[in-house]
Amino acid sequence: MTDTRVAGGATTTRRRETTRRRLLDAAAQVFAEVGLDAASVEAICDRAGFTRGAFYSNFETKDQLFLELAGEVALDRVEAVRRRIAELDQEGAFADLPANAFAIVQDVLDVSADDRLSILLMSEIRIHALRNRELAAAYLAQDEEMRRAIARIIDDIGRTKTVRFRLPSDQVARLMLTVWEGASVRAAMAGLDYAEMCRRTNEELARVAQLLIEV
């Protein structure tokens, strides 16, 4: 009987996780199409194929769902950068430092460009965070987490390899993130496709990296 209850509980948990994931994915599409204000809970539920009851059993408000989406975008970006550093390390890309330091940093930054959907989501939450203190606090906390994560990556490079930066890691991380945000938004506004968006964003990031790295 215990095993049955455990199995039933696991099934319920998986079902709940699937429902939550589908609501998040549907909301991402709706937010990107019409924005946070115009997006209704009903529209999100219709896109996901669920009722309002399913929505409110997973999220208290539409803003809470939106904030979680923004957090996922930030965390996914950090993890992509970490994975790329690990891959380069395994490939022996750090063996010839500092001669190829600029090329390595540019390669790492190649994975940091987001698609149009992610850019729209982050732009939406910034706009609403300017008017809502609760959203602002949550956004700033996530932004700080992203900065710390990037700074740790920079520290790892500087500590275990021979790359040296002209500024402290937290300042380098903040500059990189600021440039990334501006470049990606401009590329999205210009209506560029994903490949061209990545290319232009990474060009700007690489130029900043060149100024920050001592070789």
What is the CATH code for 61-214? 1.10.357.10
Secondary structure class of 165 (helix, strand, coil): strand
Domain segments of the chain as ranges: 1-59, 61-214
Q: Are 118 and 75 in contact (CB under 8 A)?
A: no
Secondary structure class of 47 (helix, strand, coil): helix
The pLDDT value recorded for residue 20 is 94
Amino acid letter at 109? L
Per-residue pLDDT of the chain (215 residues; tens, 9 = 90+): 555 555 566 777 888 899 999 999 999 889 888 988 899 999 999 999 999 999 999 999 988 898 888 777 767 777 777 787 788 778 877 666 555 655 666 676 666 556 777 788 788 888 888 988 877 888 888 788 878 878 887 887 777 666 788 899 899 889 988 988 898 889 889 988 888 888 888 888 888 888 888 76
Q: Are 65 and 88 in contact (CB under 8 A)?
A: no
The secondary structure of 79-133 as a DSSP string is: HHHHHHHHHHHHTTTTTTTTTTHHHHHHHHHGGG---HHHHHHHHHHHHHHTT-H
Structure tokens at 62: 């539409």
Distance CA 35, CA 117 (A): 11
CA 58 from chain centre, in angstroms, equals 22
The pLDDT value recorded for residue 8 is 60
Secondary structure class of 205 (helix, strand, coil): helix
Amino acid letter at 142? Q
What is the CATH code for 1-59? 1.10.10.60
